[in-house]
């Protein structure tokens, strides 16, 4: 049986309550740990206990060694913009105004080459959201629950 590795007061809720906290999100058995982490503003991605490989999207077995010992594990949330798109229209979402095209970025996280997480960039002009820019994890609130986003990190001046 899979036992949760990380415990905290806000994650001791049952699956029904978890789904209620994240309306519209595709919560499954494989990613429930990730969503429980969000409730305490911790970005958890699945990592294999046997070989150490991270993987995202969440899967029940490690794609590198096929071990089932996969555990939601915190990432630092720092990385580099790998892909950026700007939505001019889309489904209604709290805090999203498509009149200013809404940025969606896939960030390659520092933990592992190819480990990527998709969200938005907050507090930035769209012309600053460029592939290759460094970002860091930040948290906003949507539908009353924490939402992981990224903010731009100032680059060190070249020497």
Q: What is the contact surface with Zn ion in residues (CB under 5 A)?
A: 48, 50-51, 53, 62, 64-65, 67
Residue 32 or 62: which CB sits closer to Zn ion?
A: 62
Residue 64 or 83: which CB sits closer to Zn ion?
A: 64
| Shortest distance in whole angstroms from residue 33 CB to Zn ion | 17
What lies within 8 Å, CB to CB, of 132 at 6+ separation is 80, 81
| Shortest distance in whole angstroms from residue 116 CB to Zn ion | 18
Residue 53 or 145: which CB sits closer to Zn ion?
A: 53
Return the ∠ at Cα 84 (arms to 92 and 101), rounded to 5°.
40
| Shortest distance in whole angstroms from residue 22 CB to Zn ion | 28
| Shortest distance in whole angstroms from residue 49 CB to Zn ion | 8
Residue 48 or 81: which CB sits closer to Zn ion?
A: 48
Distance CA 137, CA 135 (A): 7
Query: CA torsion sign, 37 to 7 to 45 to 29?
Result: negative
Phi, psi of 44 (to 5 degrees): -110, 130
Three-class DSSP category at 70: strand
């Amino acid at each position: 049986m899979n036992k949760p590795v990380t415990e905290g007061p806000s994650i001791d809720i049952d699956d029904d309550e978890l789904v209620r906290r994240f309306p519209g999100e595709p919560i499954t058995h494989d990613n429930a740990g990730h969503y429980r982490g969000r409730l305490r503003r911790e970005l958890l991605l699945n990592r294999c206990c046997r070989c150490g490989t991270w993987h995202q999207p969440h899967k029940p077995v490690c794609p590198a060694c096929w071990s089932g010992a996969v555990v939601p594990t915190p990432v630092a949330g720092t990385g580099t913009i790998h892909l950026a798109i700007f939505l001019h229209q889309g489904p209604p979402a709290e805090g999203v105004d498509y009149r200013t095209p809404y940025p969606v970025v896939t960030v390659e996280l520092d933990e592992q080459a190819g480990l990527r997480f998709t969200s938005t960039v907050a507090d930035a002009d769209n012309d600053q959201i460029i592939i290759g820019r460094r970002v860091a994890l930040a948290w906003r609130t949507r539908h009353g629950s924490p939402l992981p986003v990224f903010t731009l990190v100032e680059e060190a001046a070249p020497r």
